[in-house]
Amino acid sequence: MIYLDDASTSFPKPPSVHEAMLHALRDVGANPGRGGYASAREADRLLYETRSLAADFFGAADSSRVVFTPGCTYSLNMALKGLLKAGDHVVVCGRQHNAVVRPLAAVGPAVSNFDWDGRGQFDAKAFSRLLRPETKAVVVNHASNVDGLLFPLDELRDAANGVPLVIDCAQTAGVVEIRTGERDVVCAPGHKGLWGSAGVGILAFGKKIELEPVVVGGTGSFSEDAGAPPAYPDRLEPGTMNLPGIAALGAGMREVGAVGVANVFRKKMALALDACERLSKIRGVKIYWPADEARRVPLFSFTVEGLDPSEAADLLDRDHGIACRSGLHCALRAHVELGTFPVGTVRFAPGYFNVPGDVDAFAAAVGEIAKKR
Amino acid sequence: MSDCIAVFETTHETLRAEEFFRAQKVPFRPVLRPRGLGASCRMALRFAEEELEKARKAVAEGNLVLKSFHRFDGGAWVKI
């Protein structure tokens, strides 16, 4: 199989990630924060070291404000539900995923959308006009999982003028450098660009942010109180932590760190550019990827004229052993904006471990499919 | 001379404290927090009383969120 669905999850994982997970399960075993014996202390240390690593990775000044969650969707839920209530107002930027759309619908703030397709400069004045006294957050999809549109965080942070920024880094963690500002809430998955396992996400937030817990329970601390602990990270980490997953995430982050985020980006981008160039020469293929290289990450969507995207993806899989995701990618609004609703697109999302030969096979397969349609 | 214990707000803070105790060359032993010092299953750092000043320096150096120092006195941990 040629795996080209890195935007869903990265595969394969480095051997050190497998080993770290196995080590936590086989050799550590204990529950962090729940005992004073040697293996419980080792579990504490593993959690602490991975948290410190994640704080460094995301430029978070205070590692106690880096929390492990069950995934990026949970991180976004914890951020949005921990910051907002009905009656508040938010500004939403970028091509939103349902991991943001649905929690916002559940909380019920008034929502203003700032639409920008990556063409031309980010219009700070137009953005600022959307801010209100009751605006409690600006929610941004750092990069679209459909067309790779990359939102300019620094410009947005300046324009937000102190309003907290909730940043969905599902497609950028480990691919683009991210620094956590003092009013930022960074939400990231562990299993995509950080090469860890599914079941672990990161929520990193600055010192000017306070989050109400969405889930409460035992933490092994402040046990005399019925309320959630007052101190981070305990306040946002009730219940037993996914230690094997966290160990795997630590190993993944070390691997990404050893390669270098910029090098990961460069390699994936070279594959995406090669694929884009080849597909653009195939009659009937339409590509959805911002033209400005500074405004995109290494993934794009495409359609084949006269062919349902799900059929195209099925042919890639069945006849060529190539794994690509098709459909709406849990991002309805992105497809509406791109004009690809309701059928969606096929997505090309290479990983760091893909090789140029994978692009050769992919482009040849799409060419064959387009010819037969 | 007796033993002392440093109790921090969270396990995370206790582990952070270990780094600063090491930097200040304070010999310590991580121990389960004695029951009389709060209802939690968390750790504390135990060290010899003569290291107390260095331990205080480590706390200041790391800007650590310390709950309290205690000395073992007359069969019980007494807050200092």
At residue B38, does pLDDT exceed 80? no
CB B57 within 8 A of CB B51: no
Q: Tell the CATH topology of A2-9+260-372.
A: Aspartate Aminotransferase, domain 1 (3.90.1150)
At residue B46, does pLDDT exceed 80? yes
Q: Residue B41's pLDDT is what?
A: 64
Closest CA to B44 of B71, B5, B4: B5
Contact: A41, B30; criterion CB under 8 Å: yes
Q: Residue A270's pLDDT is what?
A: 98
Q: Is B19 on the interface with A (CB under 8 A)?
A: no
Q: Which of A31, A37, A44, A63 to mutate to test the interface with B (most CBs of B within 10 A)?
A: A44
- Nearest Cβ partner for B12 among A36, A51, A223: A51
In CATH terms, are A2-9+260-372 and A15-259 the same topology? Answer: no
Contact: A35, B31; criterion CB under 8 Å: no
Mean pLDDT confidence for B71-78: 89
Mean model confidence pLDDT for chain A = 95
Q: Residue A221's pLDDT is what?
A: 83
Query: How far is A183 from A297, CA to CA, in rounded Å?
Result: 24
| ipTM, 2 dp | 0.84
Contact: A223, B40; criterion CB under 8 Å: yes
- Nearest Cβ partner for B12 among A41, A48, A224: A48
Q: pLDDT by residue (tens digit) across A87-101?
A: 999 999 988 899 999
Contact: A48, B15; criterion CB under 8 Å: yes
Q: Residue B36's pLDDT is what?
A: 74
The nearest alpha carbon in chain A to B63 belongs to: A62
For residue B29, give the CATH number of its domain. Answer: 3.30.70.100
Mean pLDDT confidence for A224-237: 92
Contact: B11, A33; criterion CB under 8 Å: yes
Q: How many domains does chain B have?
A: 1
Domain that holds residue B17: 3-79
CB A238 within 8 A of CB A216: yes
At residue A1, does pLDDT exceed 80? yes
Question: Can you count the helices (H) and strands (E) in chain A?
Answer: 11, 13
At residue B2, does pLDDT exceed 80? yes
In sequence order, the 6+-apart residues with CB closer than 8 A to the CB of A263 are none
Query: How far is A277 from A279, CA to CA, in rounded Å?
Result: 6
At residue A65, does pLDDT exceed 90? yes
At residue A344, does pLDDT exceed 70? yes
Domain locations along chain A = 2-9+260-372, 15-259
CB contacts, 8 Å: A53 with chain B: none
Q: Is A233 on the interface with B (CB under 8 A)?
A: yes
Structure token digits, residue A92:
């939403």
CB contacts, 8 Å: A234 with chain B: 10-12
Contact: A223, B11; criterion CB under 8 Å: no
Q: Residue A207's pLDDT is what?
A: 97
Structure token digits, residue A87:
């009656």
Q: Is A129 on the interface with B (CB under 8 A)?
A: no
Q: Is B29 on the interface with A (CB under 8 A)?
A: no
At residue B74, does pLDDT exceed 90? no
Mean pLDDT confidence for B50-75: 94
Query: How far is A167 from B9, CA to CA, in rounded Å?
Result: 29
Report which of residues A115 and A15 the model is more confident about: A15
Q: Residue B61's pLDDT is what?
A: 96
Query: How far is A255 from A16, CA to CA, in rounded Å?
Result: 8
Query: How far is B39 from B27, CA to CA, in rounded Å?
Result: 26
The top-scoring range by mean pLDDT among A36-50, A185-199, A322-336 is A185-199
Contact: A64, B15; criterion CB under 8 Å: no
Tell me the DSSP string of A233-279: TGGG--S---HHHHHHHHHHHHHHHHH-HHHHHHHHHHHHHHHHHHH
Question: Which of the following CATH numbers is that of domain A15-259: 3.40.630.30, 3.40.640.10, 1.10.150.130, 3.90.79.10?
Answer: 3.40.640.10
Q: Residue A245's pLDDT is what?
A: 98
At residue A181, does pLDDT exceed 90? yes
